[in-house]
Amino acid sequence: MGAGAAGATDAVAPSLLVAPQWIGDAVMAQPLVALLAARGERVTALALASVAPVLRAMPGIERVLETPFAHGRLDLDARRALARELRGAGFARAYVLGNNLKSRLVPWLARIPLRVGWRGEAAGALLTHALREPPAPHHGQLRGGQRGDMRAHYAALAQELSAPVLGAQQTARLPGELPQPVLRVDDARAREVAAGLGLPAGFVALCPGAEYGPAKQWPAEHFAELAGLALAEGRPVAIVGSARERAFAQAILDGLRAGRKLDGTRAGPPLMDLCGRTSMEQAVDLLAVAAGVVSNDSGLMHVAAALGRPTVGLYGSTDPRHTPPAAHRSATLWLHLPCSPCFQRDCPLGHLNCLRALDPQWAWSVLRDLMD
């Protein structure tokens, strides 16, 4: 694989992938996993419990180890304990997908001989190979503030490496042909999960969550209007998300009832609020059997698209060129206003026009085309 000492034992020794802490980022790392697996590397993923279910659905990963770490915390004792457990596993390489020192600690403490990652924080400290971004506009920060494709950013870590020298730096080379992110689940199990929750076949999933902040969140009244359009065409609707989205889901239900004057007794396709009622594993299974998915730019959007489901991604403060969904059967709606993308948690101008002006009928029309 690599030159010199960098590739001597990789074909037989396992590799450790230190996964990103966000679900969407983890999905966008799947092309890297595919490239590693294609050349014979046996990949074990190290991931937070919230991300582990996605990695278990990822082709090319043999094993997933859940970490006890909390978001943003050092948890040094826990990292030392985990590193001691990993020392005897014979890992030849570690691919560190985060840019911070915390994400590099376990591979370093575990004495994994090759530790590959981005220069990032502290000039790549604790890495044997700290990759530099290529010059703009080819990667990283592009002209006009445009950011490069995160899938290519992660996949570049699969490049050939020079002999390991602590602190060595190479300029990253992007892969020539980038595979699309892929996730797979057991179809029979996924159908059982949906049936157990009372969801009939052919349902449309709405994913209104946005972990980063409200500037990524399509208005509740827009989700309500889209749900009404789906129900009017006989499509059951499920609102999928965590317990944090319950209030937003209730706003969708209230908006739908106000707009359509539903009294809750009329026969018709069901509308179900599943926010907080599923585990992450179950949410992945539900998305795998959905007829279509409409989602903010979020982890669940990336999951649905990588599962090959018809998916419409809604972009406002973020950029679909930077964090695109898998292209199997997906579309992105983005108005590209002069103020967008701003990458802010809250709209700095106070109007959120980048999302408010995204028409629900347009979104439904695009999803219908994808489902057809």
Reported as a single tens digit per residue, the pLDDT across 281-292 is 999 999 999 999
Q: For tokens 């370093």, what's the residue? A: 108
Q: What is the predicted pLDDT for the residue at 367?
A: 98
Answer yes or no: is pLDDT of 9 > 50.
no
The pLDDT tens digits for 100-123 are: 999 999 999 999 999 999 998 888
Q: Classify residue 39 by burial, with Cβ atoms within 10 Å: 0-12, 13-18, 19+.
A: exposed
Q: What is the predicted pLDDT for the residue at 227?
A: 97
The pLDDT tens digits for 183-224 are: 999 999 999 999 999 999 999 999 999 877 788 999 999 999
Q: Which domains, from first to last, does the chain contain? A: 4-171 (3.40.50.2000), 187-371 (3.40.50.2000)
Residue 111 structure tokens: 């004495």
**Radius of gyration, CA atoms only, the chain:** 22
What confidence category does residue 143 fall into, taking pLDDT thresholds of 50, 70 and 90?
Answer: very low
What confidence category does residue 146 fall into, taking pLDDT thresholds of 50, 70 and 90?
Answer: low
Q: What is the predicted pLDDT for the residue at 202?
A: 96
**Whole-number mean pLDDT of the chain?**
88
The pLDDT tens digits for 322-354 are: 999 999 999 999 998 999 999 898 888 889 999
What confidence category does residue 319 fall into, taking pLDDT thresholds of 50, 70 and 90?
Answer: very high
Q: Classify residue 174 by burial, with Cβ atoms within 10 Å: 0-12, 13-18, 19+.
A: middle
Q: What is the DSSP string of 80-141?
A: HHHHHHHGGG---EEEE-SSSHHHHHHHHHTT-SEEEEESTGGGGTT-SEEEEPPSTTSSSB
Residue 163 structure tokens: 């002999």
Give percent of the chain above pLDDT 90: 73
Q: Which of 46-55, 135-144, 227-236, 348-357 has the lowest mean pLDDT?
A: 135-144
Per-residue HEC secondary structure of 210-229 comes to: CCCCHHHCCCHHHHHHHHHH
Q: What is the predicted pLDDT for the residue at 214?
A: 83
Q: List the Cα angle 97/327/282 in 5-degree steps.
A: 70
Answer yes or no: is pLDDT of 86 > 50.
yes
pTM given for the model: 0.90
Q: Which of 54-58, 134-138, 173-177, 357-361 has the lowest mean pLDDT?
A: 134-138
Residue type for position 372: D
Q: What is the predicted pLDDT for the residue at 135?
A: 52
Sign of CA dihedral 46, 287, 292, 339: negative
Choice between 219 and 162, residue whose per-residue pLDDT is larger? 219
What confidence category does residue 8 fall into, taking pLDDT thresholds of 50, 70 and 90?
Answer: very low
What confidence category does residue 371 fall into, taking pLDDT thresholds of 50, 70 and 90?
Answer: very high
Q: How many CB atoms lie within 10 A of CB 38?
A: 11
Q: How far apart are CA 221 and CA 228, in angstroms?
A: 10
CB 50 within 8 A of CB 25: no
What confidence category does residue 142 fall into, taking pLDDT thresholds of 50, 70 and 90?
Answer: very low
Give percent of the chain above pLDDT 70: 86
Q: Classify residue 328 by burial, with Cβ atoms within 10 Å: 0-12, 13-18, 19+.
A: middle
Point out which residues pair with 141 in neighbouring strands.
147
Q: What is the predicted pLDDT for the residue at 178?
A: 86
Q: What is the predicted pLDDT for the residue at 186?
A: 97
The pLDDT tens digits for 48-71 are: 999 999 999 999 999 999 998 877
Residue type for position 20: P
